Structure 1
Amino acid sequence: MRELILLRHAHAEPASTGQEDLDRPLSPVGLAEAEAAGKWLKENNLTPDSVLCSPARRTRETLEAVVGVIGYAEQKLEDAVYDATPGTLARLIDDRRDVERLLVVGHNPGLEQLVALMSDGSSSDYRGMPPGGIAVLQFDKTSAIEPGAASLTAFWWP
């Protein structure tokens, strides 16, 4: 079995005047949420083998806080994770079939729609994924990333 861990970035500061969305940092609450996410992953023995992370500052800071708790994992900033649709995320994940436990740090609505699509077969009835939330999906090693191919084995939020 392979595992996919989807982590939505923790709470971020609102954009200040003229600030790009990509440059929004975590808030103090968000930093605490990200550290809590790292603790939950560690306590549940869910250390990733590899990480794909959006280039947005808030996702990078979320990942830094998580890695500070769980220890180093191979990391790649992936531009396509920012503002990704479920289809884009599925393609990126499918390209990493060699990874047994992949962590993707990204954004809504793409992450929450991907959870619904992979576990229920439809992204039209997604239920939400709060900031700092984690969804763990498990699927067969040989399965393609496609609707209904995974089981949602854990869902956590700070």
Structure 2
Amino acid sequence: MKRLILLRHAKAVPASPDLDDRDRRLADRGRSDAIRMGQFLKEEALLPELVLCSPAQRTRETLDLVLPQLFVTPIVRHLPELYLARWLTIVNLVRQVRDKADTLLLIGHNPGLEEAVKKLARPPGDTKTRKLHQLLGAEYPTAAVAILEFDVEMWSAVERGDGELLNFVRPRDLRGPD
């Protein structure tokens, strides 16, 4: 059994002409959301053994805020191919994982992450899964996380439409009342 956690980077400062997109840092809300999502992963025992992360500043900062919440030290790989990657690139990078890691955290960008989840998840079968798919179809906001499970022994066996969408959680789902 393999578990894939797809985390979109947390909210970044707005793009500007004098700042390269790769260098955009997290906004204040992004920092607090990243910590919150790390706490959620810990509470749900979703502890990665391997992390694949885009090299953009906002994805690296998201990772730097999530990891201390987990109290684990996974292997971390910053992959240039993940920067603004499309869904097929993301899926191919997952399939290329040769580590024995059963839980893989991938931190990247939209629209690629959302597309990857939609392509990898099997059609919804029950009410809970239908609701998760509806949430996912509405939007994949910053710092949102999708958790997919695959009944395979190796990452190379991950196929389109074979993943069970276990959960889709947005930061606002975890925030207390305003």
Normalized against structure 2, the TM-score is what? 0.82
Q: Distance in 1 between matches of 2:97 and 2:69?
A: 24
The structure number with the bigger radius of gyration is 2
Give the match for residue 149 of structure 1.
Answer: 162
Is the CA contact (8 Å cut-off) linking 1:91 and 1:145 kept in structure 2? Answer: no
- Superposed CA offset, 1:101-138 (max 9, x none): 000000000000011101147xxx96131100000000
Match of 1:116 among 108, 115, 118: 118
How far off is 1:140 after superposition?
A: 1.4
1:132 to 135, 143, 165: 143
Are the counterparts in 1 of residues 12 and 25 from structure 2 also a CA contact under 8 Å?
yes
Q: Which amino acid aligns with 1:18?
A: D
What is the aligned partner in structure 1 of residue 130 from structure 2?
Answer: none
User: 2:51–2:75: 8 Å Cα contact kept in structure 1?
Assistant: yes
RMSD: 1.6
Q: C-alpha distance in 2, partners of 1:62/1:119? A: 24
Of all paired residues, the percent bearing the same amino acid is 41
- The offset of 1:66, in angstroms, is 0.2
- Alignment partners' CA distance in 1, 2:69 and 2:63: 10
The within-5 A match list for 1:3-152 is 3-71=3-71, 72-97=73-98, 98-120=100-122, 127=137, 128-142=139-153, 144-152=157-165
State the alpha-carbon separation in 2 of the partners of residues 42 and 142 from structure 1: 24
Taking structure 1 as the reference length, the TM-score comes to: 0.92
Could you tell me how far 1:154 is from its partner in structure 2?
Answer: 1.0
Q: How many residue pairs were aligned? A: 155
Cα distance, 1:17 vs. partner?
3.3
- The CA distance in 1 between the partners of 2:101 and 2:152, in whole Å, is 9
AA at the equivalent of 1:73: P
Q: Which runs of 5+ in 1 are unaligned?
A: none
Counterpart secondary structure, 1:92: helix
